[in-house]
Every structure is written in structure tokens, then in C-alpha cells.
Chain A
Amino acid sequence: MANRIVEVGYGNVNRVKIGGNQSLAFIGGPCAIESRDHAFMMADEVQKICDKLNIPWIYKSCYDKDCRSAPDSYHGLGVDDGLRILADIRDAFGVPVVSDFSDPAWANATGEVCDFVQVPAYLCRQTSILKAAAKTGRPVHLKKGQFMSPWNMKNSVRKLEAAGCHQILLADRGTFFGYNMLVNDFTCFPIMARTGYPVCFDATHSIQLPTSMGNISGGQREFIPHLVRAAAACGINALFMEVHNDPDNAMSDANTVLNLKYLEHVLGQAKATHELRLEMLDKFGEDNVHPEQ
């Protein structure tokens, strides 16, 4: 089972330790950086909630959304402007930041600013992306592709390790269930944890209905609390959710982001479930009911 601790943060920001018996970490923010003012407002609001709940967190927002469904969908502020805003958020709030990158050429710049670099699910087995992520020297947030089995993620882990990266967080964001539909198989958490790395649940992408609305994706965010409680009970080490103060007008993933006003409701339950699981681990020990596996 997972036994490595991934430590996110460099310089003057808080250090977030993910894995083992550490507190549940939260990775969240708006899907895309929409503007400097909006990014700062969101950081301020999420920080208040995480401080109130005493949850270690990492600010997530992307500078380039390269997997949008339609050619005219919002693509992002771009590498230079987006990373400048993330750097300023680090400085202003003392919070580590994460963004994904979709082109190996953007990896160095991303790693120079971000405490954590994210590999998009669609690209999770691309050797060039994985090598570039490892080369940044930052911990890597590796999302399981919707088309991947959890056991085959080990191949991507081995690619990162071969390139020198041994700080990896593995995330589930759902698995294709036919067309335009995802399903969560929560056996993926213990399976991916057998790589030795901590695991994360991406709740807001798990309820996505990929490109179900013709040229954009839909989503069923009413299920976020149910899935989050189940994932926390299953043994995740981190929870990922995209949040927005005005989902209907979000420039990216409007149908899946969690409304900011519900963040405390969901995060509070995630933390409580995680703590209950740790108590049960203390009381009953590891779930080793079929050692022959």
C-alpha cells in the first residue's frame, strides 16, 4: 500500500505533505485562470475555507486548456501571463500552486513557477510529457486516463521513475463507460496505491459527461458529495476539485465545477471521513483480507 509521502512546496510557501497518515490534502481552484482579479479572489475565498477547516491545500488553475471540445472554447491566458499570475498567488497567499501542461515545451517554465506539475489524463501515457514532467524536478500529479486501467498506470509511473521522478501523486478522474459517460471504479485507489505512491480523487471531473452536449461537456455535480465521501472512505490521500464562484459563467468546465458556496460542505465531510478512516486503520489495521492477491 502507499507508503511514500509526497511533499509539495518550495521557497516561502506552505509545505503540503500528501500520503501515509497525513491529513487529507485539497487541490483546488478554478479550472482555468480567467483573469488576475478572478484568480486572486478565488485564492482568497478558498484559503479562508481551508484555514477554517484546517485543511492543507494547493491552488490549482491552468494557463492553457488544450483539451476543450470546441475550437472556439476558452483556451486560457497562455504560458507567460498565466504563470505570472500563479507566481503572484504563491507570493501573496503562501500557498503552493499547480497547473497542468499539455506540451513538453512548456514543462520547464511550468516547473520554474509551480510547486507541483500536473500531467493531463488524456496524456498520461505520453513518454515525452512524462519525461518533461520528471525533468522539472517538481513532484508530479499524474491523472489516470479515462481509457486506462488502474494497474496499467504503473507503466506511466515507471516512465516517470526512469526519468528521475520519485514524487508522484496518482489521481482517478473516472473511466469511460461507453460514450459520453464516466464511471468511478473505486478499486482503482488500492490498486494504484500498490505502486507505493499516494492517491487522489478528482471529484469534479469524475462527474463529467464528456462532450455530452455536442461541443461541450456536461456534468452531474449533484453527485460530488456522495463520491467524495466514498473516495475518502476508500483511502485517498488528496482530494481534487475545481471550484468557481459563478459556475454558469465559468470560462471552462462550467457544467462540472463545484459552486464555491458548497466547498465547505463538501470539504468538511471529506476531512471528517478521512479522519474516521485513519481511526479505523488504527483500530482494525490494514485491509489485508486476501494476501494471495
Chain B
Amino acid sequence: MSTQNNKKMLVSDVMLGVDRVPVIKEKTILKEALEEMGRTRLGIVCIVNDNNQLLGILTDGDIRRKLLKVQKPFSAFFVDDALDHSIRSPVVVSPGDMLRHAIELMEQKQIWDLPVIENDTLVGLLHLHPAVQALLEG
């Protein structure tokens, strides 16, 4: 399946641009974060500050695990800052990283998404499905 072309593919070739990445601000409450995740249907939301620096990510799986841990009423859970329940130091990649390496990283970590960071700011998101599709078509 592998070709010379797809071996040379970069993260930047297939990542979702920042305009397609679900992004919320640091003071967004969990209820609004869930709405954003539902709207974009990627199962992830990135939390950034005013300088577009990534502060954390929140995924469907994070919420699922939290629901079993927190025990608090939904009304209290919903009004928490999404950032409080996020992964603060997520695995990230750069636009210039090799796509194959990024996918291998996803396999190692058992994750479906990698925020793409350049010059300390969020510039995109590598989502597993389009990444694999690009490799297959490459």
C-alpha cells in the first residue's frame, strides 16, 4: 500500500486547518464545550488562550472517564470550566513532521487526534481518518 509519495507526506498536507478545528476559550464552561464537540463531530475540542496558545484538549473519552469519577450533579459538572477537566499537556505535532511518524505516534498512544503546533500556537489538528485516507490514496 505504501508508495514513495505517501512516505514523503507531511502533517501539514492533511491536517485540518485552524478554521475547521473545534476551539474554545479558557473560560468556556463544559456545557458549551460539549456543544462545540457535538457541532464539529470530531470528538475533541482544543482550548486556547487569547494568543491562540494551546492550554488543553478535551475528548469524548476524557468526559466519559470523568463522568464515572466526579459524582457531582450534572448542573455542577456543566458549569465547570472545560479547562479544569482537560488534558493540560497533550501530545502534539508540528506541521513539518512526517505524516507516517505522526500516525505511528497515534498508534503508540492510542489516540485519534493530534493538535498541530507551530511557533507556540495552534495551527491545525491531525485527525486519524483523513490522515489514513491520505496515506491510502497517496
Contact = CB atoms under 8 A, between A and B. Distances in A.
A249 interface: no
Contacts of A293: 69-70, 72
A292 B79 contact: no
Contact of A292 (B66, B73, B75): B66
Interface in A153-178: 154-155, 158
A149 B69 contact: no
A79 interface: no
Interface string A262-293: 00000000000000000000000000000011
A158 B76 CA distance: 15
Contacts, number: 20
B72 to A, nearest CB: 7
Interface string B100-116: 00000000000000000
B72 A158 contact: no
B69 A151 contact: no
Tell me the dominant secondary structure on chain A's binding face: loop
A50 interface: no
A152 B75 contact: yes
B72, B73, B76, B80 — most chain A CB neighbours (10 Å): B76
A152 B29 CA distance: 11
Range of interface residues on A (Cβ < 8 Å): under 10
A74 B76 CA distance: 38
Contacts of A292: 66, 69-70
A152 B72 CA distance: 13
Nearest to B70: A293
Nearest to B79: A151
Contact of A149 (B66, B75, B80): B75
B84 to A, nearest CB: 8
A149 B27 contact: no
A152 B79 contact: yes
A152, A154, A293 — most chain B CB neighbours (10 Å): A293
A151 B77 CA distance: 9
B78 to A, nearest CB: 9
Nearest to A293: B70
Nearest to B29: A154
A155 B70 contact: no
Interface of B: 27, 29, 66, 69-70, 72-73, 75-76, 79-80
Given A292-B69, A292-B70, 8 more contacts: A149-B73, A151-B76, A151-B79, A154-B79, A158-B27, A293-B69, A293-B70, A293-B72
Q: Which are the 5 A-B pairs with shortest beta-carbon distances?
A: A292-B69, A151-B76, A151-B79, A154-B79, A293-B70
